């Protein structure tokens, strides 16, 4: 059983081993839960019958919607014409829409359809559903401690970047 280190605890050099053990346990547990969620997402994506390059393009748009073809080409490491063809096929499936940039009519911007935005939002929730369920099943004070711990971990990780 892994013990949680109290926030008020001052770390000693020998504590690094215990922290490493806790992180390893956390990593294994998170990866197992995420793998379950990703498996569900993959089966849903397979139902939509989109190729891996199409999935990569959609992934880029989930990070930043409204990218130009040029930007998408650069991020994906594919030629402009290849990405344009991928967008054409995704447009036919109503996964993306292409709009002319208002400021520069030579530029086409690619946006996810509302249906896909909704899918991505629910898919993200689905990936983490096993973890969220565990946190939701915890008692009120335990939930608060978990959320505080996650917030502290996120803050510490952001400081490292």
> 81-125 pLDDT, tens per residue?
999 999 999 999 999 999 999 999 999 999 999 988 887 777 767
Residue 28 domain-assigned (yes or no): yes
Phi and psi dihedrals of 12, rounded to 5? -115, 160
**Cα–Cα dist 3/24, whole Å:** 13
What pLDDT is recorded for position 42? Answer: 61
What pLDDT is recorded for position 2? Answer: 44
Residue 5 domain-assigned (yes or no): no
**Tally of domains within the chain:** 1
Task: Tell me which residue range forms the domain holding 51.
Answer: 15-160
Residue 114 domain-assigned (yes or no): yes
**Residue 131 or residue 137, greater confidence:** 137
pLDDT digit string (tens) for 8-60? Answer: 455 566 677 777 787 788 778 777 766 766 666 566 555 667 888 888 898 89
Q: For the residues 1-12, what does the mean pLDDT come to? A: 50
Residue 70 domain-assigned (yes or no): yes
What pLDDT is recorded for position 3? Answer: 46
**Cα–Cα dist 101/136, whole Å:** 44
Residue 1 domain-assigned (yes or no): no
Tokens encoding 154: 């996120």
Cβ within 8 Å of residue 7, ≥6 positions away: 148, 149, 152
Q: For the residues 66-76, what does the mean pLDDT come to? A: 94
Which of 31-35, 125-129, 135-139 tops mean pLDDT?
A: 135-139
Residue 3 domain-assigned (yes or no): no
Residue 67 domain-assigned (yes or no): yes
Tokens encoding 134: 């565990």
CATH classification at residue 93: 1.10.10.10
**What pTM was computed for the model?**
0.54
For residue 146, give Cα distances in angstroms to 41, 102, 114, 128, 130: 26, 46, 33, 15, 15
How far the first Cα of the chain sits from its last, in Å, is: 31
Strands (DSSP E) contained in the chain are 67-68, 96-100, 108-112
Residue 4 domain-assigned (yes or no): no
3-state secondary structure of 107: coil
């Amino acid at each position: 059983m892994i013990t949680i280190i109290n926030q008020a605890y001052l770390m000693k050099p020998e504590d690094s081993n215990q922290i490493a053990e806790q992180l390893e346990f956390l990593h294994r547990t998170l990866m197992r839960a995420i793998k379950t969620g990703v498996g569900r997402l993959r089966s849903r994506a397979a139902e939509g019958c989109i190729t891996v390059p199409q999935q990569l393009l959609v992934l880029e748009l989930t990070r930043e919607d409204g990218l130009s073809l040029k930007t998408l080409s650069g991020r994906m490491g594919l030629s402009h014409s290849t990405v344009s063809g991928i967008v054409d096929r995704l447009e036919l499936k109503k996964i993306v829409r292409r709009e002319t940039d208002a400021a520069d009519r030579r530029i086409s911007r690619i946006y996810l359809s509302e249906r896909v935005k909704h899918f991505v939002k629910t898919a993200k929730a689905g990936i983490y559903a096993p973890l969220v369920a565990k946190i939701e099943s915890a008692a009120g004070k335990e939930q608060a401690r978990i959320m505080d711990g996650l917030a502290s971990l996120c803050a510490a990780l952001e400081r490292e970047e």
